[in-house]
A and B are shown apart, each in its own frame.
Chain A
Amino acid sequence: QVQLQESGPGLVKPSQTLSLTCSVSGISISSRDYHWNWIRQHPGKGLEWIGYISYTGRTYYSPSLESRLDISADTSKNQFSLKLTSVTAADTAVYFCARDEGYYFDHWGQGVLVTVSS
Protein backbone atom coordinates (compact mmCIF):
# COMPACT_ATOMS: atom_id res chain seq x y z
CA GLN A 1 0.00 0.00 0.00
CA VAL A 2 1.49 3.31 -1.11
CA GLN A 3 1.67 5.93 1.60
CA LEU A 4 3.13 9.43 1.67
CA GLN A 5 3.86 11.46 4.79
CA GLU A 6 4.99 15.08 4.96
CA SER A 7 7.22 16.35 7.71
CA GLY A 8 8.91 19.61 8.58
CA PRO A 9 8.64 22.77 10.66
CA GLY A 10 5.19 24.23 11.06
CA LEU A 11 6.51 27.75 11.53
CA VAL A 12 9.01 29.60 9.36
CA LYS A 13 10.16 33.19 9.68
CA PRO A 14 9.77 35.61 6.79
CA SER A 15 12.72 35.69 4.37
CA GLN A 16 13.89 32.26 5.55
CA THR A 17 13.72 28.91 3.75
CA LEU A 18 10.78 26.55 4.04
CA SER A 19 11.96 22.93 4.04
CA LEU A 20 9.70 19.90 3.91
CA THR A 21 10.26 16.20 3.36
CA CYS A 22 7.89 13.58 2.02
CA SER A 23 8.54 10.02 3.14
CA VAL A 24 7.20 7.38 0.80
CA SER A 25 6.40 3.79 1.68
CA GLY A 26 5.00 0.94 -0.34
CA ILE A 27 6.89 1.84 -3.51
CA SER A 28 10.32 3.05 -4.50
CA ILE A 29 10.46 6.65 -5.68
CA SER A 30 12.76 5.35 -8.40
CA SER A 31 9.93 3.24 -9.81
CA ARG A 32 9.46 3.89 -13.47
CA ASP A 33 6.67 6.15 -14.68
CA TYR A 34 5.85 7.90 -11.41
CA HIS A 35 6.42 11.51 -10.47
CA TRP A 36 6.58 12.96 -7.00
CA ASN A 37 4.83 16.26 -6.50
CA TRP A 38 4.37 19.09 -4.09
CA ILE A 39 1.01 20.84 -4.02
CA ARG A 40 -0.13 23.53 -1.64
CA GLN A 41 -3.41 24.98 -0.45
CA HIS A 42 -3.64 28.46 1.00
CA PRO A 43 -6.08 28.73 3.91
CA GLY A 44 -9.63 28.47 2.61
CA LYS A 45 -8.44 28.41 -0.99
CA GLY A 46 -7.91 25.96 -3.83
CA LEU A 47 -5.06 23.69 -4.77
CA GLU A 48 -1.86 24.99 -6.35
CA TRP A 49 0.67 22.73 -8.03
CA ILE A 50 4.21 23.61 -6.97
CA GLY A 51 6.43 21.17 -8.84
CA TYR A 52 7.62 17.60 -9.14
CA ILE A 53 10.62 15.36 -9.42
CA SER A 54 10.41 12.46 -11.79
CA TYR A 55 11.67 8.93 -11.30
CA THR A 56 14.66 9.97 -13.41
CA GLY A 57 15.47 12.79 -11.01
CA ARG A 58 14.41 15.48 -13.45
CA THR A 59 12.49 18.37 -11.92
CA TYR A 60 9.67 20.56 -13.19
CA TYR A 61 8.49 23.65 -11.35
CA SER A 62 5.55 26.01 -11.47
CA PRO A 63 6.71 29.14 -13.32
CA SER A 64 5.37 31.32 -10.52
CA LEU A 65 7.64 29.67 -7.93
CA GLU A 66 10.56 28.47 -10.04
CA SER A 67 13.03 31.15 -8.95
CA ARG A 68 12.65 30.20 -5.24
CA LEU A 69 12.14 26.47 -5.50
CA ASP A 70 14.24 23.35 -5.24
CA ILE A 71 12.87 19.81 -5.21
CA SER A 72 15.27 16.95 -4.61
CA ALA A 73 15.16 13.26 -3.81
CA ASP A 74 17.05 10.91 -1.53
CA THR A 75 16.51 7.46 -2.98
CA SER A 76 18.40 5.78 -0.13
CA LYS A 77 15.75 7.04 2.28
CA ASN A 78 12.90 6.87 -0.25
CA GLN A 79 12.14 10.52 0.38
CA PHE A 80 11.82 13.68 -1.65
CA SER A 81 12.08 17.21 -0.38
CA LEU A 82 10.96 20.76 -1.02
CA LYS A 83 12.92 23.91 -0.34
CA LEU A 84 11.28 27.27 -0.89
CA THR A 85 13.47 30.28 -0.25
CA SER A 86 12.69 33.87 0.76
CA VAL A 87 9.27 33.02 2.10
CA THR A 88 6.61 35.57 2.91
CA ALA A 89 3.19 35.38 4.53
CA ALA A 90 1.83 34.51 1.09
CA ASP A 91 3.57 31.14 1.39
CA THR A 92 1.49 30.21 4.42
CA ALA A 93 -0.41 27.11 3.31
CA VAL A 94 -1.02 23.43 3.80
CA TYR A 95 1.62 21.60 1.79
CA PHE A 96 0.80 18.19 0.33
CA CYS A 97 3.04 15.68 -1.36
CA ALA A 98 1.41 13.50 -3.96
CA ARG A 99 2.25 10.87 -6.56
CA ASP A 100 1.21 11.14 -10.18
CA GLU A 101 1.46 8.45 -12.79
CA GLY A 102 1.38 10.89 -15.69
CA TYR A 103 -2.26 11.82 -15.87
CA TYR A 104 -3.65 12.05 -12.35
CA PHE A 105 -2.68 12.23 -8.68
CA ASP A 106 -3.53 8.89 -7.14
CA HIS A 107 -1.88 9.07 -3.73
CA TRP A 108 -1.58 12.04 -1.39
CA GLY A 109 0.01 12.72 1.95
CA GLN A 110 -2.17 14.07 4.73
CA GLY A 111 -0.68 17.55 4.38
CA VAL A 112 1.24 19.78 6.75
CA LEU A 113 0.39 23.37 7.67
CA VAL A 114 3.29 25.77 7.33
CA THR A 115 2.83 29.25 8.74
CA VAL A 116 5.19 32.06 7.79
CA SER A 117 5.37 34.50 10.67
CA SER A 118 7.91 36.27 12.81
Chain B
Amino acid sequence: SSELTQGPPVSVALGQTARITCQGDSLRSYYANWYQQKPGQAPVLVIYNENNRPSGIPDRFSASSSGNTASLTITGAQAEDEADYYCNSRDNTGSHPDWLFGGGTKLTVL
Protein backbone atom coordinates (compact mmCIF):
# COMPACT_ATOMS: atom_id res chain seq x y z
CA SER B 1 0.00 0.00 0.00
CA SER B 2 1.03 3.65 -0.37
CA GLU B 3 1.50 6.23 2.38
CA LEU B 4 0.70 9.80 3.32
CA THR B 5 3.54 12.09 4.36
CA GLN B 6 3.01 15.16 6.48
CA GLY B 7 5.49 17.95 7.04
CA PRO B 8 7.36 19.08 10.16
CA PRO B 9 5.76 20.80 13.15
CA VAL B 10 4.22 24.19 12.43
CA SER B 11 4.27 27.26 14.65
CA VAL B 12 1.98 30.22 14.05
CA ALA B 13 1.44 33.48 15.83
CA LEU B 14 -2.01 34.05 17.27
CA GLY B 15 -4.29 35.40 14.57
CA GLN B 16 -1.97 34.50 11.73
CA THR B 17 -2.34 31.82 9.05
CA ALA B 18 -1.06 28.28 9.41
CA ARG B 19 -0.68 25.79 6.58
CA ILE B 20 -0.20 22.05 6.97
CA THR B 21 0.60 19.80 4.04
CA CYS B 22 0.11 16.15 3.19
CA GLN B 23 1.57 14.25 0.25
CA GLY B 24 0.76 10.88 -1.19
CA ASP B 25 -0.11 9.09 -4.40
CA SER B 26 -3.55 8.16 -3.06
CA LEU B 27 -4.45 11.86 -3.15
CA ARG B 28 -4.45 11.71 -6.93
CA SER B 29 -7.47 9.39 -6.69
CA TYR B 30 -9.13 10.20 -3.37
CA TYR B 31 -9.99 13.34 -1.47
CA ALA B 32 -8.05 14.19 1.66
CA ASN B 33 -9.73 14.49 5.01
CA TRP B 34 -8.30 16.30 8.01
CA TYR B 35 -8.65 15.57 11.71
CA GLN B 36 -7.73 17.60 14.76
CA GLN B 37 -6.56 15.76 17.85
CA LYS B 38 -5.92 17.37 21.21
CA PRO B 39 -4.01 15.55 23.97
CA GLY B 40 -5.97 12.73 25.52
CA GLN B 41 -8.88 13.12 23.11
CA ALA B 42 -10.17 11.34 20.06
CA PRO B 43 -9.58 12.87 16.63
CA VAL B 44 -12.23 15.25 15.37
CA LEU B 45 -13.05 15.62 11.69
CA VAL B 46 -12.45 19.22 10.60
CA ILE B 47 -12.39 18.87 6.80
CA TYR B 48 -13.82 16.12 4.64
CA ASN B 49 -13.89 15.40 0.93
CA GLU B 50 -11.18 17.95 0.19
CA ASN B 51 -12.79 21.15 1.48
CA ASN B 52 -16.03 20.57 3.37
CA ARG B 53 -16.48 21.45 7.02
CA PRO B 54 -18.69 19.41 9.36
CA SER B 55 -21.26 21.31 11.36
CA GLY B 56 -19.63 23.20 14.21
CA ILE B 57 -16.19 23.55 12.64
CA PRO B 58 -15.20 27.24 12.30
CA ASP B 59 -14.83 28.65 8.83
CA ARG B 60 -11.21 29.58 9.54
CA PHE B 61 -10.48 25.95 8.59
CA SER B 62 -10.17 25.34 4.87
CA ALA B 63 -8.31 22.98 2.59
CA SER B 64 -7.17 22.52 -0.98
CA SER B 65 -5.51 19.93 -3.11
CA SER B 66 -3.34 19.73 -6.20
CA GLY B 67 -1.92 16.57 -7.68
CA ASN B 68 -0.54 14.45 -4.88
CA THR B 69 -0.54 17.22 -2.27
CA ALA B 70 -3.30 18.36 0.05
CA SER B 71 -3.14 21.36 2.35
CA LEU B 72 -5.04 22.42 5.43
CA THR B 73 -5.14 26.16 6.10
CA ILE B 74 -6.15 27.80 9.35
CA THR B 75 -6.76 31.49 8.72
CA GLY B 76 -6.56 33.53 11.90
CA ALA B 77 -5.35 30.74 14.17
CA GLN B 78 -6.72 30.72 17.70
CA ALA B 79 -5.18 29.31 20.86
CA GLU B 80 -7.73 26.48 20.84
CA ASP B 81 -6.43 25.36 17.43
CA GLU B 82 -3.20 24.12 18.99
CA ALA B 83 -3.32 20.37 18.36
CA ASP B 84 -2.05 17.54 16.19
CA TYR B 85 -3.53 17.42 12.71
CA TYR B 86 -3.79 14.26 10.63
CA CYS B 87 -4.61 13.86 6.97
CA ASN B 88 -6.37 10.72 5.76
CA SER B 89 -7.59 9.20 2.54
CA ARG B 90 -8.67 5.93 1.08
CA ASP B 91 -6.13 3.73 -0.63
CA ASN B 92 -6.73 1.27 -3.41
CA THR B 93 -3.25 -0.03 -4.11
CA GLY B 94 -3.79 -3.23 -2.14
CA SER B 95 -6.08 -6.16 -2.78
CA HIS B 96 -8.99 -4.20 -1.37
CA PRO B 97 -9.68 -0.57 -0.48
CA ASP B 98 -8.35 0.47 2.89
CA TRP B 99 -7.39 3.61 4.76
CA LEU B 100 -4.28 5.71 5.12
CA PHE B 101 -3.30 8.28 7.73
CA GLY B 102 -0.49 10.77 7.62
CA GLY B 103 1.98 10.80 10.47
CA GLY B 104 0.49 13.96 11.93
CA THR B 105 1.64 17.56 12.23
CA LYS B 106 1.84 19.36 15.55
CA LEU B 107 0.53 22.90 15.39
CA THR B 108 1.71 25.34 18.04
CA VAL B 109 -0.04 28.71 18.39
CA LEU B 110 2.31 31.30 19.83
Contact = CB atoms under 8 A, between A and B. Distances in A.
Interface residues of B, number: 27
A34 interface: no
B53 to A, nearest CB: 12
Contacts of B48: 103-104, 106
Interface string A76-118: 0000000000000000000010001001111011110000000
A44 B110 CA distance: 22
B42 A109 contact: yes
B99 A96 contact: no
Contacts, number: 55
B96 A60 contact: yes
A20 to B, nearest CB: 15
Nearest to B6: A46
A49 B96 contact: no
Nearest to B90: A103
A49 B98 contact: yes
Contact of B45 (A49, A105, A109): A105
Interface residues of A, number: 19
A48 B98 contact: no
A113 to B, nearest CB: 10
The secondary-structure label for the interface of chain B is: loop
A104 B98 contact: no
A105 B88 contact: yes
A62 to B, nearest CB: 6
Contacts of A39: 101
A60 B1 CA distance: 14
Interface stretch (B9-17, B30-38, B58-66, B75-83): B30-38
A110 B101 contact: no
A49 B1 contact: no
Interface of B: 1, 30-31, 33, 35, 41-45, 48-49, 54, 86, 88, 90, 94-104
Which 9 residue pairs are nearest across A and B when measured between Cβ atoms? Answer: A49-B99, A104-B48, A108-B42, A47-B101, A104-B33, A46-B104, A46-B103, A60-B96, A111-B42
Interface of A: 37, 39, 46-49, 60, 62-63, 96, 100, 103-106, 108-111
